[in-house]
Amino acid sequence: MTQAWANFFDPGHPAGRPSFKSRSRSRPAVDVPQARDLNITRLSRRWGAVNLPKVGRVRFRWTRDLPGVTRGGPAGRITGARLVKDAFGWQIVFRAERQVPAPVARPGPGLGIDRGITVALVLSDGTTRDHGEWLTSGEKEHLRRLEKTSARRRAARPPGQRASRRLARTYDRIARLRATAKRRAVDWQHQTTTELARTFGVVVVEDLTITNMVRTAKGTIERPGRNVRQKAGLNRAITGQAWGRTVTLLEYKTRDRGGLVVKVPAPGTSQTCHRCGHRDPAARDGTRFSCVNPACGWAGHADTNAAINIRNAAGTAVSGRGDLGAARSAKRQPPRAA
């Protein structure tokens, strides 16, 4: 809040007047800045205990080794903690300080990734990384009924009256189901990006402006939009894949292992043949790509062709995260045919 007011009073800052968050929409959090009074102890294989100011001794679920606490665990020390409340209750996050060796540049094969909707990730080596539904059929049906119940109770509530306890409980159940889906999605992204960061030295992705891609198509009263419902469904599908989070995870994991993530311009990657370089929008028909150049005639999966083009475009990178030596070697690589 202090920084928000400082930005507001700064003449050169575009920030507006800060507004207070609603209690029902905010994420409660309590920070414990010092670790000297935490007194963290391990009670069993799955449980630990910690002292919290003005709360006392509290048990928490032990999910990973803590530096300076776990016997034989990583070297370092705990510097503080933070309590955060989500749909599943209160969670505790410990801040740790430990010595991390500088990453050493390592040679490794290059990889191009095409992010999609039907298939989450299509790689330039011809493989894919996909996932199923984040909720089971029973969970999706349960969520649908809860949303219908909340809509019915919300419509029956008089204007200006606070939500009833039954409606609040319904909101909590909806939030838990959606949080379950998000946890499963983040877990899949962590496992997939860790595998890619360990295997490949240079990872090339498109430099997408996702906020522009998911803009609404409603338009205005004078100039209404077209295919609004179809565009809304596409926006939900793009948002559900969380393309930006995938790249964020890839960047720091690849950098920590001595690799590099390169972002290249996106236009033309799905309309250009990776073998001959001929570009024609008519070459792509759904998931099928057929080069219209008579001298080439390559045909295959359109997303695989786009991923190879992305990998070959590493020399025209707009940004990169990781080792500079790997970046130079990636730029020196000539385009390769599949």
Of 97, 118, 137, the position where a domain reaches its end is 97
Is pLDDT above 90 for 59? yes
Q: Indicate whether 288 and 171 sit together in one domain.
A: yes
Q: Indicate whether 88 and 114 sit together in one domain.
A: no
Q: Indicate whether 209 and 280 sit together in one domain.
A: yes
Of 56, 73, 97, the position where a domain reaches its end is 97
Residue 40 lies in a domain: yes
Per-residue pLDDT tens over the stretch 289-331: 888 888 888 888 888 888 988 888 876 556 556 654 544 444 4
Residue 134 lies in a domain: yes
Which is more confidently placed, 326 or 210? 210
* Residue 322 confidence (pLDDT): 63
Which is more confidently placed, 75 or 173? 173
Q: Indicate whether 169 and 36 sit together in one domain.
A: no
The CB density around residue 246, as the number of other CB atoms within 10 Å, is: 22
% of residues, the chain, pLDDT over 70? 91
**Average confidence (pLDDT) over 268-295:** 85
* Residue 16 confidence (pLDDT): 87
Q: Cα-atom radius of gyration of the chain, to the nearest Å?
A: 25
The count of structural domains within the chain is 2
Element (H, E) at 123: strand 121-123
Q: Indicate whether 291 and 208 sit together in one domain.
A: yes
Residue 176 lies in a domain: yes
Cα–Cα distances in angstroms (integers) from residue 167 to residues 66, 89, 141, 147, 192, in the given order: 40, 18, 19, 11, 38
DSSP 8-state assignment for residue 283: G
- 337 — pLDDT class (breaks 50, 70, 90): very low
* Residue 330 confidence (pLDDT): 45
* Residue 335 confidence (pLDDT): 42
Of 97, 126, 152, the position where a domain reaches its end is 97
* Residue 319 confidence (pLDDT): 58
Is the whole model's pTM more than 0.85, yes or no? no
Residue 3 lies in a domain: no
* Residue 141 confidence (pLDDT): 96
Q: Indicate whether 49 and 141 sit together in one domain.
A: no
Q: Indicate whether 48 and 166 sit together in one domain.
A: no
**Average confidence (pLDDT) over 213-224:** 80
Q: Indicate whether 234 and 130 sit together in one domain.
A: yes
Residue 93 lies in a domain: yes
Instruction: Say whether 319 sits in a helix, a strand or coil.
Output: strand
* Residue 24 confidence (pLDDT): 63
Q: Indicate whether 37 and 175 sit together in one domain.
A: no
Q: What are phi and psi of 321, to 5 degrees?
A: -125, 120
Per-residue pLDDT tens over the stretch 231-264: 888 888 888 888 899 999 999 999 988 888 999 8
Both tokens of 206, joined, read 């498109």
Q: Indicate whether 187 and 303 sit together in one domain.
A: yes
Residue 14 lies in a domain: no
Q: Which residues pair with 49 in a beta bridge?
A: 41, 59
Instruction: Say whether 92 sits in a helix, a strand or coil.
Output: strand
Task: Give the residue numbers spanning the domain of 71.
Answer: 23-97
**Average confidence (pLDDT) over 137-152:** 95
Both tokens of 320, joined, read 């990169």
Lowest-confidence pick of 14-23, 51-60, 85-94: 14-23
% of residues, the chain, pLDDT over 90? 30
Is pLDDT above 60 for 193? yes
Q: Indicate whether 66 and 165 sit together in one domain.
A: no
Residue 9 lies in a domain: no
Residue 166 lies in a domain: yes
- 228 — pLDDT class (breaks 50, 70, 90): confident
Q: Indicate whether 93 and 114 sit together in one domain.
A: no
* Residue 316 confidence (pLDDT): 59
Is pLDDT above 60 for 183? yes
